[in-house]
Amino acid sequence: TWRFIATYLIYGQWKQLVVAGVGHCAAAYVLSGDPDWARRAAILLDRIADLHPDFDFGAQAILYEKKADRGYVSTWHDACMEIRSLVLAYDLIRPVLDKDKKLHKFLADQARDHHLPWPKGSGEAFRAHIETRLLADVLANRHKIRTNYPGDDVLVILIKSIQDPVANQTEVRQLIDAMVSTATAVDGVTGEKGMTGYTCYVIHVLGHFLETLARVNPAFLPDLLARHPKLQRTYRFHLDTWYQERLYPRIGDCGHYGDQVTRYQGLTCTREYGLQPSSFSLLWRFYEATSDPAYAQLAWRENGRTVKDFPHDLTATDPQALRRALRRVIKQHGETPTLASINYPEWHLALLRAGHGKHERMVWLDYDTGGKHAHQDALNLGLFARGLDLLPDLGYPPVQFGGWSSPKALWYYQSAAHNCVVVDGEAQPRPWQEPVAGECTLFAQAPGLQVVRARVPAANQGRRYERTVVMVDLGEQDFYLLDVFRVAGGREHSRFLHSGYGDLQTKGLKCRKAPDFGHDSQMRKFRLDTQAKPGWYAEWALQDLHEAMPFGADLRFRHYDLTPDAAAGTCEGWLSTGHFNDHGEGWIPRVMIRRQAAAKHAADLQSTFIGVMTAYEGHCPIRSVRCLALTGARGKKAPDSVVAVEVTLRRGAQQLLILDDPENPGTWRQAAWDIRSAGQLNLHRRSADGTPVADPVMVT
In DSSP terms, 449 is beta-bridged to 446, 472
**Average pLDDT over every residue of 481-510:** 96
Amino acid at 690: G
First to last CA, the chain: 78
pLDDT in tens, 554-591: 899 999 999 999 999 999 999 998 877 788 999 999 99
Q: What is the CA radius of gyration of the chain?
A: 30
**Tell me: the pLDDT tens digits for 219-242?**
999 999 999 999 999 999 999 999
pTM (two decimals)? 0.90
Asked if the model's pLDDT at residue 1 lies above 70, the reply is no
CA angle 505, 596, 499 (to 5 degrees): 30
- Per cent of the chain over pLDDT 70 is 97
Using the predicted structure, report yes or no on whether residue 11 has a pLDDT greater than 60.
Answer: no
Q: Flag whether pLDDT at 16 surpasses 90.
A: no
- What residues contact residue 662 under an 8 Å CB cut-off, 6+ apart? 441, 442, 453, 680
C-alpha 460/C-alpha 603 separation (Å) is 13
Residue 64: pLDDT over 90: no
Q: Under 8 Å CB-to-CB from 249, ≥6 apart: which residues? A: 195, 241, 349, 351, 364, 366, 382, 393
CB environment 666-699: b (16+ within 10 A), e (fewer): bebbbeebebebeebbbbbbbeeeeeeeeeebeb
Angle (deg, nearest 10), helices 220-227 and 169-183: 60
pLDDT at 311 over 90: yes
Is the Cβ–Cβ distance between 624 and 648 less than 8 Å? Answer: yes
pLDDT of 601: 63
Report d(CA 158, CA 150) in Å as an integer: 12
Give per-residue pLDDT as tens, 520-544: 999 999 999 999 999 999 999 998 8
Cβ pair 123, 96 in contact under 8 A = no
Given pLDDT bands bounded at 50, 70 and 90, which one contains residue 432? low
Write out pLDDT tens, residues 686-697. Answer: 999 999 988 899
Q: How many CB atoms lie within 10 A of CB 6?
A: 10
Q: How sure is the predictor about 2, in pLDDT bands with cuts at 50, 70 and 90?
A: low
CA angle (197, 201, 206) in 5-degree steps = 155
Query: How large is the average pLDDT for residues 443-459?
Result: 96
324 vs 319: CA distance, rounded Å: 9
Q: How far apart are alpha carbons 159 and 135 in whole angstroms?
A: 6
How many whole angstroms separate alpha carbon 664 and alpha carbon 65? 60
The mean pLDDT of 161-167, rounded to a whole number, is 91
Picking from 557, 224, 236, the residue whose alpha carbon sits closest to that of residue 387 is 557
Secondary structure in 3-state letters for 12-47: HHHHHHHHHHHHHHHHHHHHHCCHHHHHHHHHHHHH
Confidence (pLDDT) at 24: 86
Is residue 288 scored above 90 in pLDDT?
yes
Q: How far apart are CA 536 and CA 640, in angstroms?
A: 18
Other residues' Cβ atoms within 10 Å of the Cβ of residue 344 = 19
User: How is 313-370 classified by DSSP, letter by letter?
Assistant: -TT-S-HHHHHHHHHHHHHHH-SS-----EEETTTTEEEEEE--GGG-EEEEEE-EE-
Where does residue 568 fall: left (phi above 0), alpha (psi -120 to 50 degrees), or beta otherwise?
A: beta
Average pLDDT over residues 601-624: 93
Q: Which residues pair with 432 in a beta bridge?
A: none
